Structure 1
Amino acid sequence: MKRDDGGAQWVLRLTIHGRRREMGLGSLLDVSLKEAREAADKWRASVRANVDPIKEREKQRREAAKKLHILQEIAEDAFESRKAELKGDGKAGRWFTPLELHILPKLGKVPVAEIDQTDIRDTLSPIWHAKAETARKALNRLAICIRHAAALGLDVDLQATEKARALLGQQRHKAENIPALPWAEVPAFYASLSDGTITHLALRLLILTGVRSGPLRFLRFDQIDGDIWTIPGEAQKGRKDKTPDFRVPLVPEALAIIEQAKPLARDGYLFPSVRKGVISDATMSRLMERREMAARPHGFRSSLRDWIAETTDTPYDVAETTLGHVVGGKVERAYRRTDFLEQRRKLLERWASHVTGGSGKLLRLVENG
């Protein structure tokens, strides 16, 4: 049959459910007479089986198209759909990072419907014991991606990650505490953070306040009122819907760091990254890695806690609240109306004095009801 564009194609005329239909079998240039005859015989057999060959071919094309969805695309779509559930809408990239670093380089271009437990085992086996926690996160993220693919109607093996876990075996690695710098060595490290860059300023404020790196990295101007920084409940670790806000007293040294950082701020964030979003955990960690330090940024919370225990008589509740830890049972917390703000302020002033090379005298704090 001649086409409007001057070309020609093979056409099979059929009667399907009492209706005359025409079914294209391909261009004369691309399909030989033998191939056209074989195709015609195949589709005539479908008619004899009371199956509409045109609808059947469309169904086969749709099934084939499903298999073309590669894991990279599915992972990105799954990430987009989950952003609202993640801290800061996932802008720091921590949810996606295990996939990006350890799964997608090997499986990113593979159709998700073709991925099985052997593929996953071979991908994760190099880090399954050496980087156990990272491997566990990567496997969990992959499981979420596969469930996302299933929700899209793709023919995937929902048990592939669990089968891979069985093939990989029990992890030998045991979780270890994040290495911390001894509190006596903190002043020298603090003094070395002197070039006024975002990374140096962020690390300085992290040390001074004892907060976790997440709230610090997402610190906004509107969270600061005078000398108090209020961390929203939803920004805290293990957050729940009713997690209360947490007030952090800002001592003069901390306020000075904030003033230095203001000219570098962007989009309301005090510590933006070079490209977009906010500074990442990795940025601060890499600075310490380059200096061949075993300690990591999160470890400064331990440095502060050890300093409190070894050089002050701070009551337990005040010390734990300084780190943002929940103290006491639900009933006890309901009757306790204080967050020890002023006691914590005095404690952090003494810590700042130590960190900046000042007095190391013993401090006695009295807990007030």
Structure 2
Amino acid sequence: MTALNKLSSAKVRTAPPGKYSDGGGLWLVKRDDGGAQWVLRVTVYGRRREMGIGSLQAVSLKEARETAEKWRAVVREGKDPIKERDRKRRLAERQDHTLASVAHEAFEARKSQLKGDGKAGRWFSPLELHVLPKIGKVPVEEIDQQDIKNALEPIWHEKADTARKAMNRLNITLEHAAAMGLNVDLQAILKAKALLGKTRHKAKNIPYMPWPEVPAFYSSLTEQTPTHLALRLLILTAVRSYCVRFCHLDQIDGNVWTVPEDNMKGQVGVVTDFRVPLSDEALAVIELAKPLAREGYLFPSVRKGVISDATMSRHMERRELLARPHGFRSSFKTWCVETTDMPEVVVETSLAHVVGSKVERSYRRTDLLERRRPLMVRWADHVTGKNASEVIRIA
């Protein structure tokens, strides 16, 4: 039997450059540059294998002997210690690369493209609420269509939009995992959709107020409160409620309101700052709101911050109206289509919609502000009842 434990601590510490056997295939290799490492030599399947088990600086003689014995035991089982070590390392990495951990990495990588770092739009919520509690601890390489189906089946028909968003986030997560070099099934999303089938949910448009009825509602907003004034500005400008709620005095310059990119819907870098031409009526509403401003925000809440997203909706609910604030954008669009000849590109730009292909937009270096101005003035005239009997044709 080959002798073991040939080396002493003193020998290990003082030996000059060279190779020194401790027995049982354990060697200490000292280099001319002063470095040293432990190497285990074993024979597996008639082939000699050498595996490093650490540097002398990190692994003591005692630790090297214990590690060598562990791997010699693996050899006695007829296994290749190097392959076994690699297998265990891959297994440990798979446990580290759970769906939850990779999903968070994917979110962090995508944050800079999202409005408000993804918090305002709650980008991560569909995963956090409906997917990760069920399969978040599963290694991402093991995720298959059945896992995804089981996670989303409870909301597939009842909360179809949320399920759709969750699918989208899952797809981004799997693509991120593939980019990390992990062996994931990029077809799992499509397969899961096939298993789940077509959703029974039918998308419903946000209820809107027919444009002929808008003047009567507008005239009822007589109170000088953040809610009434915010609704008035929302109607007059046809912007989204988020833009109105976070309207700041610094954003107003003369008769132009510049909504910052962070307050616009869409990905950062795709949507930019948006200029809104202000009619005289809109400017008058802003003047009425100025005395109410807090920290520069025109529509503050009772306690802190700005009015909530539900504040204006609740006002309309109390009035027993089916329409909701966002629906006034549809009121404006329908009014444009039915009563004006304004080109679609002007109307869509007024709604801050992305118009045309990427190539077209790269050549169209204008937001059509001056063409939109008379349109918004005419809309304000309609809203305030000044042209109630007029059918408008705008060249």
Output the TM-score relative to the length of structure 1: 0.67
- Residues 97 and 350 of structure 1: CA distance in aligned 2, closer, same or farther (over 3 Å): farther
Per-residue deviation at 1:336? 11
Whether 2:335 is the aligned partner of 1:315: answer no
SS at match of 2:155: coil
Per-residue deviation at 1:233? 7.4
Per-residue deviation at 1:175? 3.8
Question: What's 1:180 paired with?
Answer: 208
- Residues 51 and 175 of structure 1: CA distance in aligned 2, closer, same or farther (over 3 Å): same
* Aligned 8 A contact 1:83 1:90 in 2: yes
What CA deviation, in whole Å up to 9, does each residue of 1:320-353 have, x standing for no partner? 5543457899699799977424413422432452
SS at match of 2:81: coil
Whether 2:371 is the aligned partner of 1:340: answer yes
Letter in 2 for 1:74: V
Question: What's 2:277 paired with?
Answer: 248
Question: What's 1:34 paired with?
Answer: none
What CA deviation, in whole Å up to 9, does each residue of 1:243-289 have, x standing for no partner? 795433252344136525631557xx97799899x877577667767
* Aligned 8 A contact 2:134 2:151 in 1: yes
Question: What's 2:81 paired with?
Answer: 51
Question: What's 2:15 paired with?
Answer: none
1:23 to 47, 56, 66: 66
- Residues 51 and 68 of structure 1: CA distance in aligned 2, closer, same or farther (over 3 Å): closer
Question: What's 1:298 paired with?
Answer: 326
Between Structure 1 and Structure 2, how many residues are aligned? 333
Question: What's 1:362 paired with?
Answer: 389
Whether 2:179 is the aligned partner of 1:151: answer yes
What CA deviation, in whole Å up to 9, does each residue of 1:37-82 have, x standing for no partner? 9x77742337x655348xx447514522432444333323222211
Whether 2:202 is the aligned partner of 1:169: answer no
* Aligned 8 A contact 1:13 1:22 in 2: no
Whether 2:282 is the aligned partner of 1:259: answer no
Please identify, of 165-174 and 241-250, the stretch whose mean Cα deviation from structure 2 is larger: 241-250
Per-residue deviation at 1:145? 1.4
Letter in 2 for 1:104: L
What are structure 1's unaligned runs of at least 5 residues? 1-11, 26-36
Per-residue deviation at 1:228? 1.0
SS at match of 1:125: helix
Identity %: 44
* Aligned 8 A contact 1:68 1:111 in 2: yes
CA–CA distance in structure 1, aligned partners of residues 273 and 80 of structure 2? 66
1:89 to 100, 117, 121: 117
Letter in 2 for 1:362: S
What CA deviation, in whole Å up to 9, does each residue of 1:86-123 have, x standing for no partner? 23432413422332343234334444344321121122
CA–CA distance in structure 2, aligned partners of residues 291 and 106 of structure 1? 42
Question: What's 2:10 paired with?
Answer: none
CA–CA distance in structure 1, aligned partners of residues 244 and 230 of structure 2? 7
* Aligned 8 A contact 1:74 1:149 in 2: yes
Matching of residues 43-122 of structure 1 within 5 Å = 43-45=74-76, 51-52=81-82, 56-57=84-85, 60-122=88-150
Letter in 2 for 1:51: P
* Aligned 8 A contact 1:219 1:271 in 2: no
- Residues 155 and 67 of structure 1: CA distance in aligned 2, closer, same or farther (over 3 Å): farther
CA–CA distance in structure 1, aligned partners of residues 248 and 236 of structure 2? 17
CA–CA distance in structure 2, aligned partners of residues 13 and 351 of structure 1? 95
SS at match of 1:247: strand
Per-residue deviation at 1:297? 3.2
Matching of residues 1-16 of structure 1 within 5 Å = 15=26, 16=40
CA–CA distance in structure 2, aligned partners of residues 283 and 76 of structure 1? 32
CA RMSD in angstroms comes to 4.8
SS at match of 1:148: helix
Letter in 2 for 1:361: A
Per-residue deviation at 1:301? 0.7
* Aligned 8 A contact 2:221 2:232 in 1: no
- Residues 79 and 297 of structure 1: CA distance in aligned 2, closer, same or farther (over 3 Å): farther
Question: What's 1:8 paired with?
Answer: none
CA–CA distance in structure 2, aligned partners of residues 223 and 286 of structure 1? 27
